[in-house]
Amino acid sequence: MTGSNGNYSRYVYVYNKTRETFVATEAAVADNYFRRLIGLLGKTKRWAKLGRGLWIIPSRGVHSIGMLFPIDLVFLNKERKVVHVEEHFRPFRVSKVSLKATSVLELPPKQPNAVSGSVALPQSIAGQISQQEPKTRRPFRESAGDRGGLAEWEQFGKRRNNEEEKKREECER
């Protein structure tokens, strides 16, 4: 499937369980050699909208050689806990290699809604990250404004909670 983020077949949303906030609502998963090799190369600054991301699995470090814009990096261990954060990682650089990390989440710089203000502060994103695939097979529309589909995910979460409450009430009866 080709989406608005490029040639990725799998999109997920990334949720910080500890802070109860969305980190990315349209994160492409780069889980094979070719997707990890390409990464965000060829993407323009237009890619860097709120809610977007690229989750590189497996990875202990990344480079930004050939990239056209800065990104924020979140290094995650096997349990998907944050082990390191690099803010405003500029183009044509090589990141720190974290032996504790098993994957790296690349995000647009300083997503205000993602982690209580900014990815910049490790304590604000620290916690356990959850990954879930959306029920729809397409990435969310860009016409949702600068929120990058966040409104659609909020509605999805509300509908899901209402459905779960109805099921609980039926079981109690």
Q: Give the model confidence (pLDDT) of 124-166 as tens digits.
A: 455 566 666 554 444 444 444 444 445 555 565 666 666 667 7
Q: What is the pLDDT along the chain (173 residues), one digit of tens a residue?
A: 334 445 566 888 888 888 888 888 889 999 899 888 888 888 888 888 888 999 999 999 999 988 999 999 999 999 989 999 999 999 999 999 999 999 999 999 875 444 433 343 344 455 566 666 554 444 444 444 444 445 555 565 666 666 667 777 777 76
- Reading across the β-sheet that carries 52-56, which strands appear in turn? 82-89, 71-76, 103-107, 52-56, 21-30, 11-16, 129-132
Give the separation between CA 15 and CA 132, rounded to whole angstroms.
8
Block residue for tokens 């709120």? 50
Give the separation between CA 52 and CA 125, rounded to whole angstroms.
16
Please give the class, per CATH, of domain 11-139. mainly beta
Give the separation between CA 50 and CA 61, rounded to whole angstroms.
23
